[in-house]
Structures are given as structure tokens and as C-alpha cells.
Amino acid sequence: MPSYNINGITVQFPFPAYECQLSLMTTLVSALQGQTNALIESPTGTGKTLCLLCAALAWREAWVARKQLSIVLKNSVDRVEGLVLSLDKAVSSCGEEMYEGDAPTIYYASRTHSQLSQAVHELRNTSYAPKICVLGSRDQSCVHPDVLALPSVARPNVCRQKVAKKTCEFYGNVEHVKGVLEEKGILDIEELGKFGREHRACPYFLSRTHQSKADIIFLPYNYLIDAHTRKAQNIDIKNAILIFDEGHNLESSCGDATSFEMTAQDLSNCISEASRCVELASAPASAQDFMILKELLQNLQKKLEAVQLDRSRDRILSGDWILSLFRDLNISFENVNIVSRVVECGVGLLAQEMNRRSRMALNSFGTALKVVFKDGYGADGQIWQSYKVYIQEDARARTGRKLSLWCFHSGIAMKDLEHDCRSIILASGTLSPLASFATEMGIPFPHRLENPHVISPHQVFVGVVPTGPAGSHLSSSYENRDSVAYISDLGNAVVNFCRIVPDGFLGQGGAKSVMDRIKQYKTPIVEPRNKQEFGAAMEEFYAKLEDKSLTGAVFFAVCRGKASEGLDFSDTKGRAVMVCGIPYPAAMDPKVKLKKQYLDELHARNGKGSQTISGGDWYKQQAGRAVNQALGRVIRHKKDFGAILLCDARFGSPYNIKQLPIWIRSLVKVYKHFGEAQGGLGRFFKSMEQQPDAFPTVPAVPDSVQGHAEILAHAAFQQLKTASSDLDGQVSIRQRRKKSEFELSMGPATTAPPIPAVISSTKSSSFHRTTLDRISHPILAKPPRGSTLTTVTHANQKPSLPEPTHSIPKRQAPPPHPPTTKKPKQTATTYIQTLKKTLPTPTYHTFQSLLKSYKAQTISVSALVDALVGLFQNVQGGRELLVGFGEFVPKGYRKEFERRLEGVS
């Protein structure tokens, strides 16, 4: 597998890397070395995900190795000082690296579960095998048939109810099978669900058993962005590396995490639920508490009704107005925690109702409290300048009003993230222009990259089509979109392109009037509005493409729809994409209008020299990014090819061409007439038929690679690694991942290496051979302080503990029990499986805790053995288990172990 030196870090890559891929990995490594942030735009199909994973894991490997060296070589640093300094330089460029605590956890976030699954699959293609965790929602992960039969909105509540009442068999089996899961290696969320169904264990809780030990955690955006979700999901981002793939969605996600909306129906349901809680009340909240909550919610409803609306039946208020509203309800920063606790108790009570099958409205009120009374908001009055309150008549209810608090600055959520983490990496194929995107995020991005594509120019056709076949002006502007001539000629254009484009075609404007004409050339599939039906539509599209009796299919989608990202339109699935207009946000939408107003005010305050964009520029950029997402569906890898058809005359303007991704701009050709565009498209596909193998040349791989791997391979370090070669020198990382939890925590029976243990001080690294985790050794080889058997060993001394035997020696005196027949040596895996089958679950957990206590040096060897004797002696076959345990006790402790074993019946 090719290796590359990226700023002193040896990165293993699955195949020869292109220049743009090396640039991406260099940008990421530089950000990690400097503990700074990076903004990376790299087109879809350039191996962006693979580059992010390999570079981040390689850097983390070097960090772990350097931390281990700081412990292992503390008595002999002078000998390898130059090499240690080289490794220091590879890990950090700021000279302030502190090798304390756990290694930085990598959080890999994307918008959808399907995108996360794709990232997990990419990880399998690498030489890295980290401990991973994939976090999903209860709704996504649940395998209980009773819960799956419910609507999605009801599943989380019923899940909590079953877990609380201990009536979920799948939850109860988690502890029994989590060890089996560790042997499976890298699984995505669908595979984890399959594992859960096969072993009748809950995937949601199985994934969380691995969370604290994971080197890399895959999770949705909102799990990171929302501080309350981070707390609920036990996500610790201190010193972490946060990678946001498909980062173009981050602006809206940040806004959602710092905003709330409460409809009239929500508020009415909250009142009803508070009444129900009065009847169900139990400690810690009383019936009186819920009566006060109900009165508070009724007062909120009255106060919203009392707000005088404008002629447009709405009202816009400053952000800090929300504080005065809650102040009138006697809710403030000083007492909000009391109210929140009552709300949480109410949610818990309602979740236990067997007949509850709908979303709990009290959650919406709880969310409102968390958004308004966020830590730090009380002391920072300026923060409310980024908010607006919007009150309107609720169109979905006969009476009542909808209350919205909208945040218009993504930086509020991002600054909260940046405060604790090491680096934030935002990557996407559609971030341009980077300067305005960075300003919107509100945090510094010293490292920025706009990557070209890996493909050659001849592999893509990009044409602006200003007129239709009949000569009508193609423009979906407000003034022209309802024109009969425009609609008719746009349909003619779609039909004509369907005749030329082979196989799969992603289009827009699927008017019923042209469907019959399109069927002569391709089978039309229209994107459904219901997301539950979307999967079936995509399956039908793929099936039509595979049908040899047909000439292809066209999928009519909408910009910003589900087809805009995360789906496979590679190769024959998508030979062309047709964009029929510029999808600006709804100009009259109150939220859009207020966003533009906020940016205009901010732009005016900061002056023309600032990086702040105006509301008008933001409005145009939103449309541009939506277009770019659609264009990215065509070229999915270096050997792919396809056409981009921009069927709107406005795309020909220099401003709009500049909004396109950098790799497309130079390829755009603006045609004067439809016939010219049609002819150019036909010639393009004919040329690709004639030269199907004319793709970019595979890059050369450097013969010699410097980097941290070479540092660790130095002769001075080889002596350390040789001492531990019996432990796992011949065992690959992937095999090590399959060892039992007993072997991982205690260590197999081998010769103790002449160096101190270092793995216990950090999460175990999980990378290829250069990692210094290979110098770990059995836990019993180094007794804790205070033990009568303690022996001090320095790195340059021979082992003081001899090779352990694998069976208890026979004594001269007759034993108090019949002699045990010597059995073949068993492996740690076999022994741990025997324990799991023999011991009751609580006893097995106690056994695990004892080993952890010994490893943490809180009990001595003698205390450990005494505890095990007491634990096993009342278990059927307990003495045999103790005898088996003796196979893993080093010889230096054997006599002590045998003496205690004599009294066990």
C-alpha cells in the first residue's frame, strides 16, 4: 500500500494518490499540527472522505506513539533525543503539545446516516483499523418488533419506557454480546442493526458500549452542534478532532441548533400534558409542581395572544424580547433549572404510558428553555443581536399563534464547539466562495483549500443552454416562470436531451405534458414528496437502468431535495444532469427576509472592508450552492464521465459562472442556440464511446518515504519493539482487534518485556505496524505499588520476571483435592468464553472490575487473588476456573497463587 510523507506524518493510502488528494491531506495535517481549523473544498469524486480518514488517523497514530515514547523512554531519552524531537515536529507545529490524558478522539460527522455508512465503508479500504463507534438515533437503531410497528415519532418514547421498565429483551442482552461485537471489526449502522437482530441485542446501546474506547466516532451533525445533545449522548469534545464532511449543510444545522419554533398546537398539547402529569405525579416532581407548570404554560399562551400584530398578521421583535417574555412568566437564568427539571420529569412520566404513540409536546417547551437560557447567554447581551423573535397567526390552527426564535449567526454554535476541541475541519464539494463561508461560520480558518478535480477536461461537458428548440428564452425568473412558451420549450429541451444522453439522466421540470414523449426514449421516475417513498423510487430507477430491454431512465428531482446529496449516480446511473433554473430561497419567506436584513445591518456596521457579506450576496450564494450540489451528482470518480446542462440563460453571466465550483468554471461553454448545444452534447458522448479508457494517468508512488514511520523504525526503537515481539510482533492489527476483552485488559501469558506499561494511560491505538502500542505487555507482569512482589525494571535491564508456565506445578505434599488432570494450554479467548458461560452476569462483571482495579494499581496481586478466590468458590466449577486462571499468572506470582488455591474446595 503506497505511503506518503505529509509534513513528517507517514500516511498510508489505499492506492497511488493524485496531487489534489495530497493537497487535501497536507491541509488537514497542517491544521492538526497547529491545533487550528481548516476549510476544504474538494469536488465529489476526488476521494475526499478517504483522504480525511487516512490523514487524520495517521496523525493520531503519531500522537499516540509520541505519548508512549514520553513514558517508555523517560530513563533513556538522551539516547534517542534527536528522533524524539523529529516525532515532536511531526505531531505539532506550535511547540505546546501536552501528552497528557487520552489521545484526541476523532469525531467524523455528516448529515445523513447513509453518508456515514459510506464513510465507514471507505475506512475498510484503508490499512487503518481503529476502534470505531457509530452513533445513531433510537428510531434508526431499534430492532424491537413492537417498537418498529409504531410511527417514527413515537418510537423514542416507547423505547425509553421499555428500557426503564426492563421489558426490552434486546436491551437486556447487550452485556452478553458486546464482546462478540468487538470481534466483528468495523460495522456501519445497517450492519450493526443486522448484528443486533441476529443476536437479539439492541444496536443503539451496543454502539454506546464502545463509545468511551473509540478512536474515531461516526455521528450525525446535530449530535455535535447541539450542546444539549452532546451532553445527553456523553460526547466529550475536549481536545477532539471534529471533521464535518458535506459541511455545506452546517450553516442551516447551526441555525436549527440555536433556534426554536413552538406552534399553537404544541402549546395547547403542552398544557394538556401538564394536566396529565398532575394525575401521574411521583417523586421527584409533585402534583403541585405540575399544576404550577400548567399555569405557567397557560400564561404563556395568553401573553402571545396579547401581542399586537401588524397588518400582515405577524410581528417581528428583537431577540432579547424573549427574555422579557419569560421574565413575565417568572422564569429567569436563576431558576430555569428548576422549571427544566419539572419538564423532564413530566416527559419521563408520559413516556411510561403504555398507550402513548405520539411525540411529547413538553419536549418542545423544554427545547425552548434550553435555547433561551443557554450557559453564557445571560452575561452576553450582544449575543441577542443575532436573534429575532417572530410571532404570527398559526395557519395550521384555527386559533392561536406560533412563536419562533431564530438565530442568524452560525458562529454562535461553532464558537461553542471550538472552545474545547483541538481542530475543526469542514469539507465539502460546494463551499465556494470560501471567504464568505468562513465569515458565516464565525471562527478562524487559517488553512483553506479549493481543490481541482482528478478527471481530465475531456471527461465532462458543461454547457449553458439559453434557448429551447423552438427558440424560446429559457429562464425560470419570477417574471418568466409561468410563461406558456417557456414551459413548452423547456419540455422540448428535456425530450431532445433524453434522445442523446445514454443510460441514467438526472433532470428537472418533469411536466406531465412531456412524460408520454419522454417514454419513447427513457422511463421517467419523479422524486416523491414523501420521504418514506423515496427509497422505493430510487430502487425503481436503478432497476430500469439494469433492464436491458430499455434504453435508460430519467429521474426528475428538485434542488435541495433528497437526490441532491449522498446518493449514487455514478457511471451509467447518471450520465448527465440538467438544471432548469437558479433555485433562490423563497424571497417572501419571513425567515429569509430577516436573514437578509440581519446581514445587511451587520455589513453596514462592519463597513465595506470587512469580510461580512450583504443580504443580497448571501441570497445569491444560497442558490449557487444548491446548484453546485446538483452538479456534483454526475462525476463520482476519476474514470467517470458525464454532461452538465445549465438550461437557464442567466447561468451565462460572469457572476453566476464565478459561483460554480472552481473545476467547472474553465470548462463552461455558453451556446447561442439550442442546436449548437445539442450537437456538442452528441459529439461529447460519441467521443467517450470511441476512447473509453482515456482517463488520467495513475500517479507515480515515491520510492522512499520519510515520516514518523521511519522514525519509529529506527534502530534505537527496534530494541524496544524486539523485547515485546513475543507479545504481538507477529500479530496484525486486524487480528489484535479480534482478541477477547480479557486478553485486551489482562494480556496473554508471555514473557514480560523490560519496559513499563504505557497502554493504560491512553486509549489503545489501533493502527498499522509503526505504532508503539506494540510494546504493551501483560498486566500481571508489572505489579502495582505496595505489592510485596513489586520489582523495578528499567528499559535497559533484562526482564526480572521469568517466563510463566501454563499449568500449576504438582506439589510434593498430597493436595487436599484430587489432582487436576493437566489439560492442553487454553487461550485467553477460550477462557473468557468459559467464564461468560459459567458465571452469572453480575459475577462476571465483578471479575472484570477486579482486573480493571489491578490495572489501575488500586489493588495488589495478593488482594486480586484473594478476591478471585472469594468470587469463584461459591460457583459450580469455581475451582476449575481458578486453575484455568493460573495459566495467565506469570511465574513470579505462581507460588502465591497456588498457596491461596489450596484452601478452595
DSSP per residue, 128-197 = ----EEE---HHHH---HHHHTS-GGGHHHHHHHHHHTT--HHHHTHHHHHHHHHTT----HHHHHHHHH
Which grid cell sits at 191? 450492519
pLDDT along the chain (905 residues), means of 10: 90 92 96 95 90 97 83 55 70 72 92 87 92 89 87 79 88 90 84 92 92 93 90 92 91 92 94 94 90 97 94 93 95 94 89 69 94 80 91 83 95 89 93 88 94 89 96 92 91 93 84 80 86 82 88 84 66 91 92 95 81 89 88 83 94 92 91 95 92 63 65 56 38 36 34 29 36 32 35 31 32 44 60 78 70 61 69 75 77 69 64
Q: How many CB atoms lie within 10 A of CB 15?
A: 14
- Start-to-end CA distance of the chain, whole Å, equals 56
| Rounded CA separation 179/209 (Å) | 10
- Fill in the DSSP letter of residue 473: B
Going from the C-alpha of 640 to that of each of 309, 627, 695, the distances in angstroms are: 56, 20, 9
Answer yes or no: are the C-beta atoms of 686 and 648 closer than 8 Å.
no
| Rounded CA separation 373/466 (Å) | 52
| Rounded CA separation 883/660 (Å) | 71
Going from the C-alpha of 44 to that of each of 347, 428, 429, the distances in angstroms are: 43, 8, 6
> Quick one: CA dihedral 171, 176, 179, 185, positive or negative?
negative
Which grid cell sits at 620? 445569491
Going from the C-alpha of 8 to that of each of 17, 19, 448, 481, 525, the distances in angstroms are: 17, 17, 20, 56, 51
Q: Is the peptide bond before 433 cis (omega within 30 degrees of 0)?
A: yes
Answer yes or no: are the C-beta atoms of 184 and 124 closer than 8 Å.
no
Domains of the chain: 264-393 (no CATH), 457-690 (3.40.50.300), 747-759+771-905 (no CATH)
Name which of 114, 126, 129 is nearest 54 in CA terms: 126
Q: What is the pLDDT of residue 750?
A: 32
Which residue stretches of 36-100 are H helix? 48-72, 81-91
Q: What is the pLDDT of residue 609?
A: 66
| Rounded CA separation 823/524 (Å) | 69
> Quick one: CA dihedral 622, 628, 631, 634, positive or negative?
negative
| Rounded CA separation 568/115 (Å) | 11
Which residue stretches of 786-877 are H helix? 828-838, 841-855, 861-872
Q: What is the pLDDT of residue 772?
A: 32
Round the CA-based radius of gyration of the chain to a whole number and report it: 32
| Rounded CA separation 382/99 (Å) | 37
Q: What is the pLDDT of residue 235?
A: 94
